[in-house]
Structure 1
Amino acid sequence: MEGAYLPGNIRQRMQELMKEHKITQAQLATRIGSTESAISRFVSGKTDKISTEHLLRIAKVFEVSTDFLLGEVNTPDRINFDIEELGLSVQAARNLYTGKANAEIVNRLLESPRFAEVTYMIEQYFDDTLAAGFAGQNQMLTTLSAMLRRNNKTDAAVQAARTVNRQKVPVYQADLTIRQT
């Protein structure tokens, strides 16, 4: 569903959406918990009554806004979502709503083509996967440095051991290092 539609009322929008999604009145009725005859009477104009609950369910079935169904806007994109649908905590939604979180940055993050990659990195940060990886890397560098110093007493070996030691990364600063590369 791309772009905007021509102006229309709820009956016209329902007909357009059913045609577009190849859904019959009977199928729509089943999906929203109504009867085919109730949908038919409404779409044909024999009745003007449709419950708010059915309107909300129709919007969810077609993944459009209720404003679009009602003909208030010509773009079907939903602008209002339940917090649970989005998977946000109440506190996260409150932070966005009150401006404690920068909505522009959140939008840029969500729209980024690298969103999945970035969220994976954040997930690793929160579950300490990155810290554990860098701790392991640091341990390996410590071992290598010790081996260089112990097995070879030349100036080149000592310099190599120092170079190896400088490559260690503080485990909780690893996320900054990754972002810089």
Structure 2
Amino acid sequence: MRERKLTQRELALRIDVNESTISRFLSGKTEKLSEESVIRIARVFNVSTDFILGTTVIPDKKNYDISELGLSVEAAKNLYTGKVNNDVVNRLLENPRFATVTYMIAQHLDDTLAGGYAAQNQMFATVGSLLLGQNQTPEAVQAARTANAMKVPTYQADQTTIQNTFMTVVKEIKKEAGSDLAAARAI
């Protein structure tokens, strides 16, 4: 509660109990909380119930509801049934650079980057037109060609960046796997 700067009253409201219940528990006047209260407290602090009960000093939850993880039912089923290699998925998710790859893919899917490249290409086309409109000297023609050559196909740049970053992640994971041939084969 101190870490999260949460008062007894705020916690009581969030888990739907009386403030006096929290007060008695924290002061040691009672050692009992309902099962539901313990679960709700764990959810408020995003820790395991074992951590709340003091049976472990590790706050990390071991079990998550599919909706808490943001997984679709099909994705969870693929993990649970072994259709995908869980070791590979774990290694990907644990790699800090992989989060960047997922962000880049999201931008690719919503056309954020494509819009930027389209605008950049339009700017190069305008520069080329302006150069040729002023005069037709060989230098102006060459400068216009150079500006035109700087255009990038709208989706090519972000796809290439995504591919390169993803392959860097795969190389890092392979390097981590090192001499573990089974893990390397899985990857």
TM-score when normalising by structure 2 = 0.59
Aligned to 1:104: 91
Residue-by-residue CA offset, 1:45-66 (whole Å, 9 max, x unaligned): 576xx43322201212333211
Aligned partners of 1:46, 1:127: CA distance in 2, in Å? 52
Could you say if the C-alpha distance between residues 81 and 110 of structure 1 is closer, same or farther in structure 2, counting changes exceeding 3 Å? Answer: farther
- Are the aligned partners of 1:96 and 1:103 in contact in 2 as well (CA < 8 Å)? no
User: Cα deviations across residues 15-71 of structure 1 (Å, max 9, x unaligned)?
Assistant: xx68996644x6654432334359737954576xx4332220121233321121233
Paired residues of 2:92 and 2:98 also in contact (CA < 8 A): no
AA paired with 1:162?
R
Question: What is the match of residue 67 of structure 2?
Answer: 84
Q: 2:16 aligns with which of 29, 33, 48?
A: 33
Equivalences for residues 141-152 of structure 1 within 5 A? 141-152=124-135
* Stretch of structure 1 that moved more, 150-159 or 26-35: 26-35
Identify the match of residue 71 of structure 1 among 26, 38, 54: 54
User: Would you say the 8 A contact 1:29–1:39 is kept in 2?
Assistant: no
Q: Which runs of 5+ in 2 are unaligned?
A: 165-187
Instruction: Please give the root-mean-square deviation of Cα atoms over the aligned residues, in Å.
Output: 4.1
CA distance in 1, matches of 2:126, 2:157: 20
1:172 aligns with 155
Q: Which has the larger radius of gyration?
A: 1
Q: Structure 2 vs 1, CA of residues 92 and 39 (structure 1 numbering), >3 Å: closer, same or farther?
A: farther
1:10 aligned residue: none
Amino acid in structure 2 at the alignment position of 1:106? L
- Native 8 Å contact 2:108 2:158 kept in 1: yes
Residues 11-26 of structure 1: matches in 2 within 5 Å? 23-24=7-8
Q: Distance in 1 between matches of 2:140 and 2:154?
A: 26
Identity %: 43
CA distance in 2, matches of 1:126, 1:20: 36
Post-superposition offset of 1:146: 3.7
Number of aligned positions between the proteins:
158
Deviation of the 1:170 alpha carbon: 0.7
Match for residue 125 of structure 1 among 108, 111, 130: 108
What is the distance in 1 between the residues matched to 2:131 and 2:10?
73
Runs of 4+ aligned structure 1 residues displaced above 6 Å come to: none
**TM-score (norm. length: structure 1):** 0.60
